[in-house]
Amino acid sequence: MHKIAIIGYGKLGSHLFHSLKKFRKAKVISIIRKSKSKVNPSLINQSDIIFICTQDSEISGAVKSLINKSIDLKKKYIFHTSGSLNSGELIKLKNKGAYTGSFHPVQTFESPAKRYSGRFENIYIAVEGDKESVKLGFRIAKLLNAKPFFIKKESKIFHHICCVISSNFLTAHLYQIDKIAHKRIQKIGFNNFSFFSIYKPLAEQTMKNVETKGAIKSLSGPIERNDLITINKHISALRKKHNDILPLYSLMGIETVGLALKKKSLTHNQSKKILRQLNKYL
């Protein structure tokens, strides 16, 4: 049975704790709630595996707390869970004889967990580091019923950009729908629905289409079909009632024009007319 210590018991760390706790092949013997907290050398020495689940800015503090004369790091496995940083952040621990790596769950953890949440079920986990750490990282991911994949150090930051677009930017996009829905649509009879209940099936089907057909073949809508009349109606409505949303609409419209050109559903002349309209509002 693996003996595990978790440094940083916040959003991700608490979910990891409850997920590991669910399986008998792993036992969490120590939780250090903050990287600045005093490390118990005895418990750390008993641990085979250490997860640093702090914010990125606190990883260096966690590393310092582990470089302790009373702690033997030789052949211990130490992972951090940052998406943007790679295993190079743990070089000082590697120099002390530890196996080091990064273990990044491609998942959102918006609040701490009080019980098992299932957030690790069937998600992907990016693993990189030295050979020994990658092997163990894969085993732990499978133990959590997740899907591990290897990523190169230099690719980590680009992987994290994809994560931000997939989650953070998506949330920001959906908030624009929220603003419109609450101020306009709910006034005409949708008071029994949250905005997401209405648009969730559309978003889910779009994601399914992209998954099976790719983004280019999945594109639809007024830009894709060169419906300049509808596009101008959108612009006019936003100018009158939601001028703050117009730059985002225009920016994403420009990106969509590029996608429609790749799909060859727009000609270059058609795209120029649409772009001319959208560029006015950036």
* Residue 23 pLDDT greater than 90, yes or no: no
How does the average pLDDT of the chain come out, rounded?
90
pLDDT at position 36 is: 61
Parallel, antiparallel, or unpaired for β 49-52 and 26-32?
A: unpaired
Q: Where are the beta strands (DSSP E) in the chain?
A: 2-7, 26-32, 49-52, 77-80, 99-105, 124-129, 147-150
Q: Cα–Cα distance between 85 and 99 in angstroms, integer?
A: 17
Q: Give the pLDDT band of residue 120 (cuts 50, 70, 90).
A: very high
Do residues 103 and 147 make contact, with C-beta atoms less than 8 angstroms apart?
A: no
- Using CB atoms within 10 Å of the CB of residue 188, give its burial: 0 to 12 exposed, 13 to 18 middle, 19+ buried: exposed
What's the pLDDT tens digit per position in 213-268?
999 999 999 999 999 999 999 999 999 988 999 999 999 999 999 999 999 999 99
For 59-216, where are the E strands, in sequence order?
A: 77-80, 99-105, 124-129, 147-150
Q: In the chain, what is the straight-line distance between the N-terminal and C-terminal CA atoms, in Å?
A: 57
Most confident of 1-15, 16-30, 137-151: 137-151
Contact 128, 101 (CB under 8 A): yes
Percent of the chain surpassing pLDDT 70 = 92
pLDDT for residue 83? 95
- Kindly report, residue by residue over 152-207, the tens digit of the pLDDT: 999 999 999 999 989 988 888 888 887 777 666 555 555 555 667 778 888 899 99
pTM, entire model: 0.85
Name the nearest CA neighbour of 177 among 106, 107, 252. 252
Instruction: Report pLDDT for 187.
Output: 55
